[in-house]
Structures are given as structure tokens and as C-alpha cells.
Amino acid sequence: MAVQKRVLSIFLIQLVLLAVSGLNRVDGAGLRTGYYDESCPDAETRALKTIRKAISKDVTVAAALLRLHFHDCFVRGCEASVLLNATKEGGAEKDGFLNLSLRGFDVIDDVKSAIEKSCPGVVSCADILALAARDAVQLTGGLFWKVETGRRDGRISLSKEIDANLPFSNFNITQLKQNFASKGLTKKDLKRSFFILSLLGAHTIGSASCLTINTRLYNFTGRSDTDPALDPTFASELKKKCKPGGILPVFELDQGSSTISDAHFYKAVRQNRGLLISDAALLDDHATRAYVKRQSTSAAGATFGRDFGKSMEKMGRIGVLTGSEGEIRQRCALVN
């Protein structure tokens, strides 16, 4: 499990410039809520039941499922390519270094099996990923949002596309905005910044390893220094457990609230106790800093739950396959 968590932090800084043609399409044409109301009316109920069972056994599965959906959408769009196994042509996305810590594949397979018993060949693995992310947040205390469905599954998954497409945890606010814009977000989205801020709020659940924060603690500018944006007391606490060059242990992304989907993350950021460099970057821009302040001064996070749901819905439209595109896989790890 420690290895699986090693690069968990990488998943949350969204949407880098991708080389895949058409991937910045975010219109979600062909998606709608209630897509399976007639063809598979109990699909969402079966998914929720299966995910609830998994999280009751291991609450950290929630963050894993949320991360799977993010990583899927970053490469080739939200079409379940992250679930595919390698072929003789080469490694799949899950084999890329930045994806080696992904987990939750077994839960997705269980959901797929449960749904297939009711309506075989109807519900895509891409939609299951989107539903699983929503249910994971809801089951850990977050707000419910309606998930648009109607995605179809892709047939290509290449590990060589990972490094160019998945971001790192040391992006500054300018890089974040550029990367979000590369996904087809409007100027209004970027001006409001709620899309960036609320998705980064997914740091409210999950963890990151000593390896991920080592440079920030011990060699921030290449001069054996600590990031000055990190609260000194917090830095000292981290150094007691995370030694130079260390890989373990793992730390909560949201100290004291890492298994609950809430707005506590923003309070930590405002106090300069965000674990990642990208967390601290949220204070370097007027709009994002104002958002952090607004969420951190409200008991319920002001508009966080609503914003997060809207942001997840918009992210779930990236590069989708619909209509006659792609396929509905019989097994999520294999093309038909």
C-alpha cells in the first residue's frame, strides 16, 4: 500500500497540455444525466452498493477511486484507457511510472461485474469511473452531484503518453492556469478560478509520501534549503518523520481530515500548512487566494461542495467518446 501511495499527490494538479488531437473538447456532446434510466435503471444503485462495501472495508479506497477518474481524463480523455492492461505492442497507461501507485482497479471490476449481471454490455467502464468518483466523495461526507453518463470506452492505452500528460506537484499558479486552459476551459472559468480551486480541493482526502515532499523540505532551490512558503513549525514536524532522500512514511494531504471530503484543506493552505508546492501556489494569485480565504472561513466551506460537483462534471466531459465511437467493454481491463 505504501508503494501505491508514493505519488498520490501528482493526481490533483489538473489538465496539462496534451498532444492528442481533440482532447481539449469539453462540450460533453452526447452525455446526459439519466442516460441509463431505461437501458439499465439500477446501474447507479448497483455501483453505489458495491463502492460502499469497498469503502467500509478500507476508507482510503475513496481517494484511490477519485484519483483513477482524474488520471483517466488527463490522458486521451474520460474513456477508461487508464484501466486497460498492456498488450504485445507495449505498456499501458497503468504501467507508466506516475501511475504505478494507482489502485482501486479491483473495485471498478466489481462494479462492472455487478452491473453486467443486470444489463450486460450496456454500461461503459468510463461511466463507472465517473460514478465511482462521485460515490467515493459522497460516502466520505462530500455533497452529491448528478453524473452525466453516456461515455463509451476507448481502445488504446499507452504508457509512453503518461509523462507528457500527467502533471507534477510543483506547478505554480501560472502553470496551473495554462494547463487548465489547454483543456478548453473558457476565460470565465479561469477568471472565476473555482474550477482550479475546487478540483484541487480533492486534496481533502488521500495522502502523499515522503518522497513527494522531500525536495520541498531539503533542497527547494538546489541549495539544501526548505520552501520558505511552508510553515516552519509544520516543516519541522515533517522532517522528524521524513528524512533526506526518504521514500516513506506517507502523510495526510489534509492533516487531521484525510478521510473526510470537506473544506478543511483550505484552512491548512491558508495557514501555510498545505503539504505540496501546488497547495502553496494557491496563495500566489489574487483570485485563488480569495477563494481559499472564503472556503477556509466558513464552517462548511461556503460553496466548496457545489463548486466541486460542477468542476467534476466539467472535467468528466473532457475528450469523451459517445455515439458510435469506441465500444462498451465487456471487461474493463481488456478491449473487446
69, 71, 264, 286: the catalytic one is 71
Are the CB atoms for 241 and 183 separated by under 8 Å?
Answer: no
- Check if 69 is active-site: no
Q: Are 67 and 11 in contact (CB under 8 A)?
A: yes
Residue list for the binding site for Ca(2+)? 72, 75, 77, 81, 93, 204, 254, 262
pLDDT reported for residue 11:
35
Residues annotated as binding site for heme b? 203
Match 453524473 to its residue by C-alpha cell: 147
Under DSSP, the state recorded for 247 is: -
Neighbours of 163 (CB within 10 A): 11
The answer to whether residues 15 and 78 touch, using CB atoms and an 8 Å cutoff, is no
User: pLDDT tens digits for 266-308?
Assistant: 888 999 998 888 788 888 888 788 888 888 886 655 577 788 8
DSSP 311: H
Q: How far is CA 205 from CA 8, 51, 138, 310, in A?
A: 11, 16, 12, 18
The C-alpha atoms of residue 78 and residue 154 are separated, in whole angstroms, by 9
Give the chain's radius of gyration (CA, Å): 19
20-34, 47-61, 216-230: least confident range: 20-34
What is the C-alpha to C-alpha distance for residues 325 and 331, in angstroms, rounded to an integer?
A: 17
Q: Mind listing the pLDDT tens digit for each residue in 102-149?
A: 999 999 999 999 999 999 999 999 999 999 999 998 998 888 899 999
